[in-house]
Amino acid sequence: MTVAVAWELPCPRPFGALWSSFARLLAPLFQEAAPFPEDLARVRSAAQSRAAAGVLMAEILPRVRNLVRYLVRGDQGVDDLAQEALVAILRGLATYRGDAPLLAWVDRVVVRSTFERRRRERLRNTREGAEIPSDDGPLMRQSAPEIALDRRALVLALEHMNPQQRDALVLHHVVGMSVPEVAQSLEAPIETVRSRLRLGMAQLRERLAVAPPSETGEAVAP
């Protein structure tokens, strides 16, 4: 709902221009309309109805699972991570304000949830003195001369990449985060993130033998 405000109030002439500027600055504060009202309506419905929440979760589950799969190596644990991310999404529905597309918000919740789970597992392994599984692997070459950039090919390519470079690529090219946002999420300097993106894209190009997303201008959908 937009609140109509009458800005044509009498004002002494010396302050007329200042008042007009002040009014223009304040006008957006009186507008409650969200940029994505349909998404906001769906989220509000899901927050109030278990049935609506179930429909929403079922709809986004494949996307959540695909994004988790991009961020980890191997299929083991993907379902648990996806379920944990769905719980985080449900708990965070009340914080969604409709100022960004719902799926973009979902992607960021999934990233935060997955990264937090990975941090906890690393900390537990360190405390228990267990060997931390290596997430690195050799860059395997595809025997076929050409390979389609489908989801399975992308998963296999990411699986054999340096994990830091993989995380940067997924956040930037799949989730659509800017480089500063990626740097904040990974707690790394911006130039370090740029380097990871450059090196990771070189590996991805070699693995897939196709033009990288940055050259096509298209992001890969989760």
Q: Residues 32-89: pLDDT tens digits?
A: 557 899 999 999 999 889 999 999 999 999 999 999 999 988 777 899 999 999 999 9
CATH of domain 151-216: 1.10.10.10
Domain chopping of the chain, boundaries: 37-128, 151-216
Query: Which residues are CB-neighbours of 127 under 8 A, at least 6 positions away?
Result: none
Residue 26 pLDDT > 70, yes or no? no
The correct answer on CATH 2.40.50.140 for the domain covering 37-128 is no
| pLDDT tens column, 124-179 | 777 766 544 444 333 233 333 333 346 777 788 888 888 999 999 999 988 989 99
Instruction: Name the token pair of 209.
Output: 């033998």
The string over 106-136, giving b where at least 16 C-beta atoms fall within 10 Å of a residue's C-beta and e elsewhere, is: bbbbbbebbbebbeeeeeeeeeeeeeeeebe
Q: Rounded to 5 degrees, what angle do the CA atoms 106, 107, 111 make?
A: 120
Q: What does the alpha-carbon distance between residue 166 and residue 169 come to, in Å, rounded to a whole number?
A: 5
pTM of the full structure: 0.66
Per-residue DSSP letter, 33: -
Question: Angle formed by the axes of helices 78-92 and 50-71, to 10°?
Answer: 130
**Rounded Cα gap, residues 44 and 88, in angstroms:** 16
